């Protein structure tokens, strides 16, 4: 099955007991994201489609930082450097 899911959805699915603290498997999530990026890089999608390598690099950096550090200071820093900047 091919699907994209958010980090939060993966975390909830991994720990569904309401009275247990939420444990996020960052290493597992990173492995899954690396697999997705590799598949998108190495498979035929459609004519004219090409990988956004800058976006892929930012995505991998984001998830690798959760595993290898340094830790994010807060949620704003958590996402600011890893999102696509809107044209002004």
State pLDDT tens for residues 37-78: 999 999 999 999 999 999 999 999 989 988 998 887 776 666
In a domain, 17, yes or no: no
Split into its structural domains, the chain has a count of 1
In a domain, 31, yes or no: yes
In a domain, 9, yes or no: no
In a domain, 48, yes or no: yes
Report how far residue 57's alpha carbon sits from residue 65's, in angstroms, rounded to the nearest whole number: 12
Three-state secondary structure call for residue 23: coil
Q: What is the CA radius of gyration of the chain?
A: 15
State pLDDT tens for residues 7-21: 666 666 655 555 677
In a domain, 18, yes or no: no
In a domain, 19, yes or no: no
Residues 6+ apart with CB under 8 A from 23: 11, 14, 15
Structural domain harbouring 46: 26-80
């Amino acid at each position: 099955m091919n699907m994209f899911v958010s980090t939060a959805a993966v975390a909830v699915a991994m720990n569904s007991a309401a009275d247990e603290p939420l444990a996020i498997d960052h290493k597992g999530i990173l492995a899954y994201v690396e697999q997705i990026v590799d598949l998108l890089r190495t498979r035929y999608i459609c004519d004219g489609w090409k990988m956004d390598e800058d976006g892929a690099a930012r995505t991998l950096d984001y998830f690798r930082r959760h595993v290898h550090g340094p830790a994010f200071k807060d949620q704003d820093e958590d996402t600011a450097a890893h999102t696509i900047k809107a044209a002004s």
